[in-house]
């Protein structure tokens, strides 16, 4: 069945370090991937997305890498700040399927940034 | 420029009562999605609606749950005869509905439902 999962459930880093959060997906038909950040008591906040015709996309302090060969997705956060502490979810979408509005989420990685 | 709005933010119900969760999409958005999140888990898709139409309800339980997005007013997720297992955070998201398939979904703050 389809699934999106994360290798590391928790990640602790020092302020100023770079963070890398990983995600594996099993549906080879997935063609759209999104990273969300969720702070305690809040809804998921869009960070960055990438389509399957790309292998890298950069935003402000964040980079998403997509490796379709091994079905792996990663989020890199540069110069991590305490405000980056949150749960990070990857999500995938299969536009070619009948459920093109449906996002499938992974379980999440807890990122803790120590000052 | 208000984002997705949900109310109430917290809802307490006793077993057997009804729960109504409301979602107002971002201004200009015509597509709405509902997701459920259990503690320590990711979000699970429930239903995808456009104005007056249910596009995909593959994630909705077969009984007691229903959703609507009328021509006027917010989208409503309705849970009848709630049970303790319905306790969760329910999130609504919206997208522009400009005809592109892969649209960014923007989430509201959620409604935390507690069933006693």
pLDDT at A9: 83
DSSP A95: T
Rounded Cα distance between A104 and B65, Å, is 20
Instruction: Give the model confidence (pLDDT) of B43-61 as tens digits.
Output: 999 999 999 999 999 999 9
Residue B102, CA distances (Å) to A85, A86, B54, B71 in order: 28, 25, 18, 23
Nearest CA in chain A to B91: A43
Distance between first and last Cα of chain B: 36
Name the β-bridge partners of B66. B78
Q: How far A85 CA sits from the closest chain B CA (Å)?
A: 16
pLDDT at B98: 65
pLDDT at A1: 38
Instruction: Give the model confidence (pLDDT) of B2-56 as tens digits.
Output: 799 999 999 999 999 999 999 999 998 999 999 999 877 789 999 999 999 999 9
Among residues 9-68 of chain B, which lie with CB inside 8 Å of chain A?
31, 33, 35, 40-45, 48, 55-56, 58-59
Tokens describing residue B47: 């239903």
pLDDT at A74: 96
Residue B116 has pLDDT above 80, yes or no: yes
Residue B100 has pLDDT above 60, yes or no: no
pLDDT at A4: 56
B29 alpha-carbon distance from chain centroid:
15
Instruction: Give the model confidence (pLDDT) of A19-30 as tens digits.
Output: 999 999 878 888
Cβ pair B56:A44 closer than 8 A: no
Nearest CA in chain B to A30: B102
Mean pLDDT of B68-94: 96
Comparison of pLDDT for B100 and B86, the residue scoring more: B86
Q: Nearest by CB to A95, which of B55, B91, B101?
A: B101
Residue B16, phi then psi, degrees to nearest 5: 95, -15
């Amino acid at each position: 069945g389809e699934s999106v999962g994360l290798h590391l459930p928790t990640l602790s880093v020092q302020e100023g370090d770079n963070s890398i959060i990983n995600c594996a997906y099993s549906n080879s038909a997935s063609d759209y991937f999104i990273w969300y950040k969720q702070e305690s008591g809040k809804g998921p906040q869009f960070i960055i997305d990438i389509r399957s015709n790309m292998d890298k996309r950069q935003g402000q302090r964040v980079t998403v890498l997509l490796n379709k060969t091994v079905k792996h997705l990663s989020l890199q956060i540069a110069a991590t700040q305490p405000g980056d502490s949150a749960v990070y979810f990857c999500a995938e979408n299969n536009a070619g399927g009948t459920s093109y509005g449906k996002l499938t989420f992974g379980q999440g990685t807890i990122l803790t940034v120590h000052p | 420029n208000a984002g997705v709005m949900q109310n109430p933010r917290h809802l307490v119900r006793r077993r057997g009562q009804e729960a109504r969760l409301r979602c107002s999409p971002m201004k200009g958005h015509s597509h709405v999605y509902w997701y459920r999140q259990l503690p320590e888990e990711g979000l699970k898709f429930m239903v995808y609606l456009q104005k007056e139409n249910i596009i995909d309800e593959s994630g909705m339980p077969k009984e007691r749950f229903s959703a609507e997005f009328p021509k006027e007013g917010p989208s409503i997720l309705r849970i009848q005869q709630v049970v303790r297992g319905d306790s969760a955070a329910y999130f609504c998201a919206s997208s522009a509905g400009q005809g592109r398939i892969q649209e960014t979904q923007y989430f509201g703050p959620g409604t935390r439902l507690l069933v006693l």
